[in-house]
Amino acid sequence: MSTESRVAVVTGAGSGIGRGVALALAGAGWQVALAGRRREPLEQTAALSPSSDVVCVPTDVTSPEAVAALFDSVRERWGRVDLLFNNAGTFAGGGTPVEELAYETWRSVVDVNLTGAFLCAQAAFRTMKDQSPQGGRIINNGSISAHVPRPHSIAYTATKHAMTGLTKSLSLDGRPYRIACGQIDIGNAATDMTARMQTGILQANGQLAPEPVMDAADVAATVVHMAALPLEANVQFATVMATNMPYIGRG
């Protein structure tokens, strides 16, 4: 991809994987819009950026109006969108048995993880289709849970399986418009969200066991590689995981 116009939107950029990817993209020369629910964490990410060419855009990804405003602001600032890292997500209700999961919790996970991802992808797709030069790339943050579940994770797992369908449909529908879509499935990157994995987490056999983690910077490096490819090439699915985590042979 040309270095003259590399504009990225990163959702969930206020912490964890989103922050790491946003900083890595900025370090690789991208102009980056940092999107997330709260301004303060976004500003903390911006303060860590190796580039000053970043902007904070507080965004509720479950709101069509807020997502539209996010992409409007990016176009107004930089004129185009070359990359969406569709990363915002929640693990609400994780650890709750299916029979005890509240409807409101189910809805909140679906709204953020699936509807939010769709709304951001739709807005990016519209922009990429209409801009000149036409095209761009969408990278969805799936999960190991897009393949196999953890115990008591039905809402999260269902949305991550749905993310794979979203990725495939976007990839197919984007072909005529030079819009590439791929998915990165991440296993046990070391973030605040995965801290409990190092002390003990429920396994499929009912036991608690610690799990190895990997540096989140390795995830960021993979996203930067996927993003840097020419639009004629696409990493359709990438799995990046702690080498010894219980995925191959899980359960």
Q: Which residues are annotated as catalytic?
A: 156
247 touches 204 (CB < 8 A):
no
142 touches 160 (CB < 8 A):
yes
80 touches 7 (CB < 8 A):
yes
Peptide bond into 212 cis (omega under 30): no
Task: Calculate the alpha carbon distances from 151 to 100, 105, 198, 204, 208 in Å.
Answer: 13, 17, 17, 6, 11
Token couple for 136: 């761009």
CA dist., res. 123 & res. 121, Å (int) = 5
Residue appearing with tokens 């797709």: 125
Token couple for 232: 């004629």
